[in-house]
């Protein structure tokens, strides 16, 4: 029989992504289904089970062909019990016994962790982290998420709140965050955060700028519009990007001072600005980190894009190796 495979699932509010991987982390099959969050999300796990059964049938595979299944999910995860609660973008307000349902229906060992954590595992294993034992991952998307791998272990903390990099305070007098606290990194470096910074700064900017004009005219602008304008030399947009990079440099500098990882990997939609973003964050990172950290901790762009989640999720199943 061929080597047993890993199955990774990246569950999100609009889609669930699936991948079948080798134990070395190579993706062999990949597919996506829509997430049906109706009726308090009661269809989600059943749809996932049905989709896996359908695919295994299609590929002429059985439960015996798998080491295990790993899943990344939003919400608060109890890794031992395999449950999820408070995943509001799935309409999962109450406790969901995901592991129990999956194992009963499929007969394959199942492991689950937070979605940002599994994305960190993915980038560490197959992406920019180059399988280093010390990697911190930050994702700049609709929110700001994070995951920390330290000395080979994903950090969870006492209640699973470790690695919530989005809630690092970067401006004590700053904007209110959805978490109830003020000045979180998420309020200034997520996609909406960048726009919020631009709106605030436009109140005091007197010069000529197309982006400022659009804001003053009440037009909808995106973080991408701001980064695009900055790359084209718009003076105001450059000031906004510089401010956002200052906050990111402050946060990553302090992460470096605390954890001294080999790599701090930046991913998510906002990081599509690439080197243009990275070199500006690097400048402030160097300002806010001390010598040994500055010389040994490297800022990098994520490499796996949307695949980080399924790859990292699949890696959770490696814990079942030899245990069947
Ligand atoms: Zn917060």
Query: For residue 223, how far is its CA from the centre of ligand 1 (angstroms)?
Result: 19
Q: CB-based burial of residue 272 (10 Å sphere; 0-12 exposed, 13-18 middle, 19+ buried)?
A: middle
pLDDT computed for residue 323 by the predictor: 60
Cα gap 11→111, rounded to integer Å: 13
Q: What is the pLDDT of residues 287-318, one digit of tens each?
A: 999 999 999 999 999 999 989 999 999 999 99
Task: For residues 81 and 132, give the distance between their C-alpha atoms in angstroms, rounded to a whole number.
Answer: 29
Q: Tally the C-alpha atoms within 13 A of residue 27's C-alpha that lie toward its C-beta.
A: 20
168-225 pLDDT, tens digit each: 999 999 999 988 999 999 999 999 999 999 999 999 999 999 999 999 999 999 999 9
**56-60, 64-68, 89-93, 181-185: lowest mean pLDDT where?**
89-93
Q: Which residues contact 159 (CB under 8 A, 6 or more apart)?
A: none
Contact at 8 Å (CB) between 75 and 85?
yes
How do the residues of the chain divide into helix, strand and coil, expressed in percent and rounded to 5? 45, 20, 35
Q: Is 233's pLDDT higher than 90?
A: yes
Distance in angstroms (rounded) separating the CA atoms of residues 273 and 230:
10
Q: Decide: 98 and 313 in contact? Cβ < 8 Å.
A: no
- DSSP H or E run through 40: helix 38-41
Residue 104 has pLDDT above 60, yes or no: yes
* pLDDT at position 5: 97
pLDDT single digits (tens) 248-286: 999 999 999 999 999 999 999 899 999 999 999 999 999
pLDDT reading at 116 higher than 60: yes
Helix 235-259 and helix 191-202, axial crossing angle in degrees, nearest 10: 130
Buried b (16+ CB within 10 A) or exposed e, 190-216: bbebbbbbbeebbeebeeebebbebbe
Secondary structure element (H or E) that encloses residue 18, with its range: strand 15-21
What tokens appear for 37 in the block? 């969050």
| Interval between CA 176 and ligand 1 midpoint (Å) | 8
Cα of 182 vs centre of ligand 1, distance in Å, is 7
178 CA → ligand 1 middle, Å = 6
Which residues line ion ligand 1, judged by CB < 5 Å? 167, 177, 179, 181, 184
Report CA-CA distances (Å) from 178 to 17, 143, 193, 255.
27, 10, 12, 22
Between the CA of 88 and the centroid of ligand 1 the distance, in Å, is: 16
Indicate the burial class of 100 (C-beta count within 10 angstroms; 0-12, 13-18, 19 or more).
middle
pLDDT at 160: 85
Give distance in angstroms: CA of 166 to centre of ligand 1. Answer: 6
Burial of 23 (0-12, 13-18, 19+ CB in 10 A): middle
CB 246 within 8 A of CB 238: no
Confidence of residue 142 (pLDDT cuts 50, 70, 90): confident
Q: The pTM is what? A: 0.91
- With a pLDDT cut of 90, the percent of the chain lying above it is 91
Sequence-separated (6 or more) residues with CB below 8 Å from residue 230: 237, 238, 240, 241, 276
Which helix (DSSP H) or strand (DSSP E) does residue 223 occupy? Answer: helix 223-231
**Cα separation of the two ends of the chain:** 15
């Amino acid at each position: 029989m061929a080597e047993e495979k890993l199955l990774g699932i990246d569950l999100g509010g609009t889609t669930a992504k699936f991948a079948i991987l080798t134990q070395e982390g190579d993706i062999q099959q990949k597919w996506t289904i829509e997430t049906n969050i109706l009726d308090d999300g009661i269809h989600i796990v059943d749809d996932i089970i049905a989709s896996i059964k359908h695919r295994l049938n299609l590929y002429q595979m059985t439960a015996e062909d798998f080491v295990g299944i790993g899943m990344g999910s939003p919400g608060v995860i109890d890794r031992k019990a395999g449950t999820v609660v408070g995943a509001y973008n799935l309409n999962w307000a109450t406790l969901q016994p995901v592991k129990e349902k999956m194992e009963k229906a499929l007969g394959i060992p199942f492991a689950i962790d937070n979605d940002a954590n599994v994305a960190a595992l993915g980038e560490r294993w197959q992406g920019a982290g180059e399988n280093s034992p010390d990697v911190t991952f930050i994702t700049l998307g609709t929110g700001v998420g994070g995951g920390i791998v330290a000395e080979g272990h994903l950090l969870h903390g006492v209640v699973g709140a470790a690695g919530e990099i989005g809630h690092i305070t970067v401006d004590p007098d700053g904007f209110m965050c959805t978490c109830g606290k003020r000045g979180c990194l998420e309020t200034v470096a997520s996609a909406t955060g960048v726009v919020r910074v631009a709106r605030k700064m436009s109140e005091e900017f007197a010069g000529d700028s197309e982006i400022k004009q659009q804001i003053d005219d009440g037009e909808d602008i995106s973080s991408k519009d701001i980064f695009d304008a900055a790359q084209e030399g718009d003076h105001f947009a450059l000031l906004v990007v510089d401010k956002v990079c200052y906050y990111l440099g402050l946060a990553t500098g302090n992460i470096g001072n605390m954890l001294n990882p080999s790599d701090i990997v930046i991913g998510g939609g906002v990081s599509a600005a690439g080197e243009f973003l990275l070199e500006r964050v690097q400048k402030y990172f160097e300002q806010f980190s001390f010598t040994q950290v500055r010389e040994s901790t490297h800022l990098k762009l994520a490499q796996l894009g949307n695949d980080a989640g399924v790859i990292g999720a699949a890696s959770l199943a490696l814990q079942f190796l030899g245990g069947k």
